[in-house]
Amino acid sequence: MIDDRITDEDIPLLINETDLGENSIVLLDLVKSRGKGNVFVELGVDPGISSRIFLHNAIKQNNYVHGFDVTDCSRHAVLNHPCYDFWQLDSIKGAAAWYALRKADIVFVDSLHVKEHVLLEIEAWWPRIKLGGYMIFHDTHWKGYVHRAYHDTPGQKPGSSHNGYDSYGGIDWETPDKAVLEIFRIPALNYSDKFIEVVNYPNHMGMTMVKKLEDTIYPVPNRDVVVARQKHLINSIPWIGGE
């Protein structure tokens, strides 16, 4: 019998030795509050921390998790959980490949931490979220953050530039928080109207939750430019499939 619960003993490790930090507890509390029969989707799986949180008590609660990552994550034990499906697939293409009629309770976004990529993830996945469900963005507060002792690059700022942003293909890219502000056309990461409720947790590397209250469409601003830049981004990263 698998015991998939996260216990009080696991909490210090989640807070002190993962990229989610204190926000892992916010996420865990949300998972617990959702009760039974949930469908969770995570974009970006390796090393499996968010997978573990979404799988909390999954067998008993009849919850199911679908994880998308471009890299092979099969070495992580969480993927063997009976309520977990791993899709080795790009996070944007994944929305079209996923079951046509299925909708998710939560889509957790933690793949490429670049505005243009996140804009297209929102475009692809927002229609696939149930009313009352959430799209949750990790890494929405890199400014001023330095990696802690457990990390591969302790004391350095996040991002491939080690300067608080990703730098690929000759471009210093803007971060995921900018995508959330732009596509939902909101002035700040704490906001609500009749369509969405947005709550920001600035601690650690930052996490922003967008709750869907009513269905509406959020077009990507300057879509053609965004698509061209995201293509350049992907082509610039060899481990994702670029040159």
Q: Does residue 158 interact with ligand SAM by CB under 6 A? A: no
Q: By C-beta, is 111 or 200 nearer to ligand SAM?
A: 111
Q: By C-beta, is 97 or 131 nearer to ligand SAM?
A: 97
- Using CB under 6 A, which of 38, 61, 63, 91 touches ligand SAM? 91
* Among 48-56, 172-180, 182-190, 198-206, the segment contacting ligand SAM (CB under 6 A): 48-56
Tokens of 106: 């939560």
What is the C-alpha separation between 157 and 167, in angstroms, rounded?
Answer: 13
Report the SS3 class of residue 56: coil
Applying the rule CB under 6 A, the residues between 105 and 144 that interact with ligand SAM are 110-112
187-224: burial string, b at 16+ Cβ within 10 Å, e else:
eebebeeeebebbbbbebbbbbbbbbeeeeebebeeee
Q: By C-beta, is 137 or 191 nearer to ligand SAM?
A: 137
What is the C-alpha separation between 224 and 116, in angstroms, rounded?
Answer: 11
Applying the rule CB under 6 A, the residues between 61 and 80 that interact with ligand SAM are 68-71
Q: How far is the CB of 62 from ligand SAM (least distance, A)?
A: 23
Q: Does residue 95 interact with ligand SAM by CB under 6 A? A: no
State phi, psi for 95 to the nearest 5 degrees. Answer: -65, -40
What is the C-alpha separation between 235 and 44, in angstroms, rounded?
Answer: 18
The residue ranges that bind ligand SAM (CB under 6 A) are: 20, 42-50, 68-71, 90-91, 110-112, 240
